[in-house]
Structure 1
Amino acid sequence: MNKEAITAIVSSKLKLIRTERGYTQDKMADVIGLSKKTLVQIEKERSTAGWTTAAAVCALFRNSDILQSALGGDPVEIAELAAHKTISRPNGQEKTMGGRVWWRELDSQKGIRLQQNVISGHYRVLDAEDYRLFSTYDAAEAEEHFQNHVKRTGDE
């Protein structure tokens, strides 16, 4: 999933996200830093949000069920991956739910797991305690990181 796809999804779901939170158009526009007129145009599908607005919505409404369902998981992770192309956290600083929703397990060795998101298509490597070690859209790169983490786990 790239920036354009995320922007399109956020734009199409913006009104639902706003109503899910119980915000008026004035309040939502203020929270995400848009004019009310621009927000109305996006909600009526006359225009789309820009990348900055989409990223802000992902960050500010990361717990939105609507947004999580549309993107296939943590909106911040999806936006971060689209912006940076890969995310590497070798010390496992970010705890996940372990892939119970939106994830297909591709491989598992020595407690290290390689998963693919069924909606966005991106890959991630998790440790035995469900901490995210690496994310990317590149299958070969994901496999390489998976094997490196498995090897490191075996060396310890």
Structure 2
Amino acid sequence: MELTFGGEVEDIIHSLSFPNNDKKYIPTLGGRIWWKDIEIKNGFTVQQNMLSKHYRILANNHRRTCFSFELEYINKRLKELTD
């Protein structure tokens, strides 16, 4: 299913169901296939899924910090995490 939807289906469903989501996640593989890096700052990486177009922030250990379809929210969270 991950190859079909370009990421974990749970993330996509949560992104559609809840506008913004912050919870603790297990580490990812870092987004080598379905994700493109948007910004890297102080050990955090903002990525966008190439299929669903939702965003996420990864910590330096590839652990998801949050995800959303709203880039404004992601930028706000990145600022909070890095300031």
Match of 1:116 in 2: 48
Match of 1:129 in 2: 61
Query: Offset of 1:93 from its aligned partner?
Result: 3.2
Match of 1:140 in 2: 72
Between the aligned partners of 1:78 and 1:136, the Cα distance in structure 2 is 9
Answer 1 or 2: higher relative contact order, Cα 8 Å, separation at least 6.
2
- Structure 2 alignment gaps of length 5 or more: none
Match of 2:22 in 1: 88
TM-score, with length taken from structure 1: 0.50
TM-score, with length taken from structure 2: 0.90
Match of 1:78 in 2: 12
2:30 pairs, out of 74, 92, 98, with 98
Between the aligned partners of 1:104 and 1:73, the Cα distance in structure 2 is 12
Partner of 2:73: helix, strand, or coil?
A: helix
Who wins on radius of gyration, i.e. which is larger?
1
How many pairs were matched up? 83
Between the aligned partners of 2:30 and 2:82, the Cα distance in structure 1 is 17
Give the aligned residue type for 1:126.
L
Between the aligned partners of 1:69 and 1:120, the Cα distance in structure 2 is 12
Report the CA distance shift for 1:93/1:70 in structure 2 as closer, same or farther (over 3 A): closer
- Which runs of 4 or more aligned residues in structure 1 lie more than 6 Å from their structure 2 counterparts after TM superposition? none
Equivalent positions of 1:20-35 (< 5 A) are none
Matched-pair identity in %: 23
Q: Which has the higher strand share?
A: 2
Q: Which has the higher helix share?
A: 1
- Structure 1 alignment gaps of length 5 or more: 1-66, 152-156
Between the aligned partners of 2:31 and 2:25, the Cα distance in structure 1 is 16
